[in-house]
Amino acid sequence: MSKSERDRRMAWWREAKFGMFIHWGLYSVPAGMWKGKLVSGLGEWIQFNARIPIEEYEKLARHFNPVKFDATEWVKVAKEAGMRYIVITAKHHDGFCMFHTELTDYNIVDATPFNRDPLKELSEACRKEGIKFGFYYSQLLDWHHPDGAGNDWDYDPNNKNFTRYLEDYVKPQLRELLTNYGSIAIVWFDIYSPTPEIARELKAWVHRFQPETIVSGRIDPGRRWDVGIGDYIELGDNEIPEKRVEYDWETPATINNTWGFKSYDHDWKSPGVIIQNLVDIVSKGGNYLLNVGPTADGEIPEPSVQILKKVGEWLKKNGESIYGAQASPVDTRPHDPYKYTSKPGKLYVHVLAWPWDGKIEMQGIKNDVERAYFLAGKNHEKLRFKQKGESILLHLGTKPLDPVDNVIVLEMADRKWP
């Protein structure tokens, strides 16, 4: 693909910066407990971690009736948080399909009393609200399908045939997902395709139906830090690199310590931590895909909703420094109390720890600064500053406007930097 084609495909994603990941499936029914006992590990891994036989796990479907699910409400939560795209699990490792598929009855429409297709409803609500819609698809691990990888307690691994699974199941399901749900912004493959050949084949298969769809970096067989077959690099879960990465990349992240809902995981990240992570990621050139794990009733847990609301309030005032922003043109050190994001002619200084004397000095400013002001301040009132060569001393005053991140805009005289 040529650079200009690639730039076109990636344009909305580069602008968006912040997305909502949704891990929702049968595992939200046990919610981290099996037969009265807590099962440690990720909520969506309960079948594996407790080695639950398929025959027993399947029965969860009869109790999965998420009548409180409201696609419009979920999209509203994402929108108010300032998120610009949604990626939801169509099929996670447990193999249960959260969409209507002809390939198996083990899906939310045919196997549960709910009898609705939430992916259809969510894709439509996203379209209405101008939010990009994508789906997660576990291409390797499938603990339900006899030929999928990972389940050695119900199936003999020696009898598995991955090619058969790929041709007769994965590809036809992808075709359904890419033809029945309108425009699909992202297909988020996960750990990992067995070979580069299969990864390429899957990517081509996606593009056969929707040439503009972005494919996640976890389509690659184990690649992480270099450019692979996926359209961008997918870092490890909750991983933020130390330095700027010179390619499109994303951090998928949990809001507590699980992806799929666990009734007893209350270890929520604060809005402040999330805002700081977002700034850190954008300052290094990446996107932040932050997860929510809805309940078996169909609701996004209230603490997540409240946290996201606060993040959205900050973004409403400071979004200019995030959406479509580029990485920091100046290297900051991890202990510096500020980080930068940028746009042509503007440097956004994110002051993450308020200086005790109300002053901040920065180096490496390679252009004359014409104006400095708080992005969230009234009327963009000018701040005092003194510039000498590449160093600048900013007088911020004694009171921060925001408890987490105060963004100061430095406007450059001739717009030639950064």
Residues that bind ligand FHN (CB under 6 A): 42, 44-45, 190-191, 237, 252, 259
Smallest separation, CB 189 to ligand FHN (Å):
10
Smallest separation, CB 319 to ligand FHN (Å):
25
Smallest separation, CB 291 to ligand FHN (Å):
7
Smallest separation, CB 83 to ligand FHN (Å):
16
Closest CB to ligand FHN among residues 151, 332: 151
- Total residues belonging to the chain: 418
Q: Cα–Cα distance between 77 and 39 in angstroms, integer?
A: 29
Smallest separation, CB 238 to ligand FHN (Å):
9
Closest CB to ligand FHN among residues 141, 278: 141
Closest CB to ligand FHN among residues 147, 190: 190
Residue 310: Cβ-neighbour burial (10 angstroms; 0-12, 13-18, 19+) = middle
Closest CB to ligand FHN among residues 211, 236: 236
Q: Cα–Cα distance between 151 and 308 in angstroms, integer?
A: 36
Closest CB to ligand FHN among residues 13, 348: 13
Cβ contact 133:84 at 8 Å: no
Closest CB to ligand FHN among residues 50, 409: 50
According to DSSP, residue 107 is labeled B
Written as six digits, the tokens of 86 are 């949604």
Closest CB to ligand FHN among residues 191, 352: 191
Cβ-Cβ contacts under 8 Å for 334 (sequence gap 6 or more): 242
Q: Cα–Cα distance between 187 and 287 in angstroms, integer?
A: 16
Count the neighbouring beta carbons within 10 Å of the beta carbon of residue 286. 24
Cβ-Cβ contacts under 8 Å for 156 (sequence gap 6 or more): none
Smallest separation, CB 231 to ligand FHN (Å):
16
Residue 12: Cβ-neighbour burial (10 angstroms; 0-12, 13-18, 19+) = middle
Residue nearest to ligand FHN (CB): 252
Three-class secondary structure of residue 157 per DSSP: helix
Smallest separation, CB 289 to ligand FHN (Å):
8
